[in-house]
Amino acid sequence: MAYGIVKRLKVRGKDALLNKMKVLVDKKEKLKGKIHEVFQPSFDWKDCDTTKFVEQKLNYIHDNPCQHKWRLAELPENYVHSSALFYVSGLQGPFEVTSYAELEDIDLTKPWINE
């Protein structure tokens, strides 16, 4: 979609707008070859305040590598970068996992103090 927008702006001679979009590209992205920042960066914050919601999001994350679009694993627990193995079997994979249930009583709104 972004390429289509840039193409249309070029065809219509909207050079001033295209130049503004060039200035918005950060250095890291420029090094990767990005030329225009078409969309405003956003972050979709969701409070994970119920067990049901956390488990819904965890299932989504675990199932994502198995989706047809990616096909990175047949089963969530077979994807090496996933915590699904831990949640299915209790076994640790190559990356240590802490259950979300162990974090429920921690007040994350207070700053950490090293003792």
pLDDT in the model for residue 107? 78
Buried b / exposed e over 48-75, threshold 16 CB at 10 Å, is eeeeeeeeeebeeebeebbeeeeeebee
Tell me the mean pLDDT in the region 76-105: 94
A 10 A CB-CB count for 86 gives 17
Q: How many domains does the chain have?
A: 2
115, pLDDT greater than 60: no
Q: Looking at the structure, tell me whether residues 23 and 61 fall in a common domain.
A: no
Q: Is the pLDDT at 88 greater than 70, yes or no? A: yes
Residue 38 forms part of a structural domain: no
27 occurs within a structural domain: yes
The answer as to whether 75 is a domain residue is yes
What are 18-76's pLDDT values in tens digits? 999 999 999 999 999 999 999 988 888 888 889 999 999 999 999 999 999 999 999 99
Domain that holds residue 68: 51-103
Q: 64 with 27, same domain?
A: no
- What integer pLDDT is reported at residue 112 of this predicted model? 64
